Amino acid sequence: MNQSNYETATVMAVHRERYELLAGNEKLYGRLKTANFYHANEIIAFPTVGDEVEITYNENGDSLITEVRPRKSVFMRLNATQGQSDLAVAANFDFVFITMSLNRDFHISKLERYLTVAWQSGATPVIVLTKVDLCEDVSEYLQQISRVAPGIDVFCISSVTGEGIAEMARFFEKGKTIVLLGSSGVGKSSLVNTLMGRNEMLTGDIREADAQGRHTTTYKQCMFLPEKITLPDGTVLSGGGRIIDTPGIRRLVVSDVEQGLQISFEEIEELISRCRFSDCSHGNEPGCAIRAALENGTLSPKRWKTYRDMLREEVFSKERKQIMMKKIGRARRDMSRKR
């Protein structure tokens, strides 16, 4: 094949510092140019699974990734390492499958966080509740979800029996990409295996003693779904789309989610706009709509706490980014003086 066909590629998997790429129908491997290059214009431009990248092809070894193309959607999380840029978990997807199991992994505050970053990503959130075959009554879960996620599609499924998966068929069509987000052990990889019709990913159960999932998926990977998906009950669905499995997230610390907060917590944003004072701290000020809603029970204290926690993380993220941009600016000036 001519080298010109290898000018661009899609990141299909990330293995630490090595990237699995797809150029046309050819599987390649790539590595990054120097880190300084990716920090030259923006601090979040490191490639991730789903990214379209420009490459310098190397027929004798790993190709060189030279640039990340603009993304239509991206899921970001805060980097726990001080001084490091935010982490891009996945890019260029259409739907975010927020995956939670119907047991002690289910927490509304966790769901609220995932919904916020899903809306911020630019894609459409979908709530997938797994292991319905192990749950006697899902009504309580659905009632909780309806209060914080009105209008969002919710599916209760079992990767073992295939129950509920056929109802999600419209998301698997060719040309569409799904990203799975959730904690370890909730059934993301089991769902992938069911859709793929083979054991593509390692799986592990949630330990019932402490409701903690075992880490199963250890790296980010994008896969093409088969043209025909056969479920355990024999149902055949049309496929052909792509699905991205991601490592389980133990604790999601958000970054740059201003728009996501406005959508996920629309009623809180509306209450804040009705406070008498524009700089209301929502403490003892007269005319505070938030305090009134908390007192009359129309606003849950737990939901208000989740919103405030995420707002603080948003502010912290912006402050970190400003510090990094100043460092980058100083580095540029130093390089200019050396020249």
Closest CA to 244 of 119, 75, 111: 75
Tell me the per-residue pLDDT of 61-118, one tens digit each, with 9 for 90 and over.
899 998 899 999 998 877 655 555 677 889 999 999 999 999 777 899 999 999 999 9
**Alpha-carbon span 206 to 167, nearest angstrom:** 25
- pLDDT recorded at residue 85: 64
Q: Calculate the dihedral angle through the C-alpha atoms of 269, 270, 272, 275, rounding to the nearest 10 degrees.
A: 170
Tell me the per-residue pLDDT of 116-125, one tens digit each, with 9 for 90 and over.
999 999 999 9
- pLDDT recorded at residue 81: 56
Residues 63-97 as b or e (16 or more Cβ within 10 Å = b): bebeebeebebbbbbbbeeeeebbbbbbbbbbbbb
Homologous superfamily (CATH) of 3-70 is Nucleic acid-binding proteins (2.40.50.140)
- pLDDT recorded at residue 1: 45
- pLDDT recorded at residue 215: 42
Helices 139-148 and 108-121 sit at what angle, rounded to 10 degrees? 50
Q: Report whether CATH 1.10.40.50 matches the domain 258-338.
A: yes
Output the CA torsion sign for 259, 119, 206, 136: positive
**Alpha-carbon span 68 to 47, nearest angstrom:** 6
Domain borders along the chain are: 3-70, 89-245, 258-338
Residue 83, sorted as left (phi over 0), alpha (psi -120 to 50) or beta, turns out to be left
Tell me the per-residue pLDDT of 228-263, one tens digit each, with 9 for 90 and over.
999 999 999 999 999 999 887 766 766 778 889 999
Q: Is the pLDDT of residue 26 over 50?
A: yes
Tell me the per-residue pLDDT of 179-217, one tens digit each, with 9 for 90 and over.
999 888 899 999 999 999 876 555 544 444 444 444 444
**Alpha-carbon span 285 to 303, nearest angstrom:** 21
What's the whole-number average pLDDT of the chain? 84
- pLDDT recorded at residue 95: 97
Question: Coil, strand or helix: which one is 284?
Answer: coil
Taking the domain 89-245, which CATH number applies? Answer: 3.40.50.300
Q: What percent of the chain has pLDDT over 70?
A: 79
The count of other CB atoms within 10 Å of the CB of residue 19 is 25
- Residue 44: band (very low, low, confident or very high) from pLDDT cuts 50, 70, 90: very low
